[in-house]
Structure 1
């Protein structure tokens, strides 16, 4: 099959749009300085990400352990049966979140 001139132009335009969109998304990721932890019965905790530390708490009868370092936060250990929350790893960009469903706990990065 032979490509026509208009097909080649269309392919080039689509590639350029994809590259520009990818660069825009990559360059506009902003690290947050604060995280909001929601847990238990509508409890909430604002966490400053500029200070490295560890947080241990209980939510919905499940003990969870959070680690804050280098402006990022992660579920390090949870006594929940599936441990999916631990697989999120460290999050640090505005809008990212990690959730532990059995413990009914979530961490979201905010400005």
Structure 2
């Protein structure tokens, strides 16, 4: 590996890191999470208030906790407790899905629902 190769690798790394910042800076912020059970909306959660909620899932109650603008499933009745192990979610691109309970917690991205893609 020559000196020019090393310089090229460093330049590519700096460029790729520099391109990540606009993506993170323009990430949509949302203040609402939607809880659906069996594809029906049962609850809209304000993420600005630290609070706990309970909804009835297929296998029993699903306890949802909001803290510091993030949401998580604190406790639920399912065989592997996968959705409660997922932890806090604050990104609209990461839903919490509890398949045995047929429960989905999705943060709204704050964009118009008719838009499919935004090009900047």
Whether these two folds match at TM > 0.5 is: yes
Following superposition, the deviation at residue 12 of structure 1 comes to 2.6
Following superposition, the deviation at residue 29 of structure 1 comes to 3.9
| Higher Cα radius of gyration | 1
Kept in 1, the 8 Å contact 2:59–2:100? The answer is no
Show the counterpart of 2:40: 43
Computed over aligned residues only, the root mean square deviation of the Cα atoms, in angstroms, reads: 2.0
- Output the TM-score relative to the length of structure 2: 0.76
Provide structure 2 residue ranges, at least 5 long, that are not aligned to the other structure: 111-120
Show the counterpart of 1:80: 78
CA separation in 1, counterparts of 2:56 and 2:80?
Answer: 17
Give aligned pairs, total.
108
Provide structure 1 residue ranges, at least 5 long, that are not aligned to the other structure: none
- Output the TM-score relative to the length of structure 1: 0.81
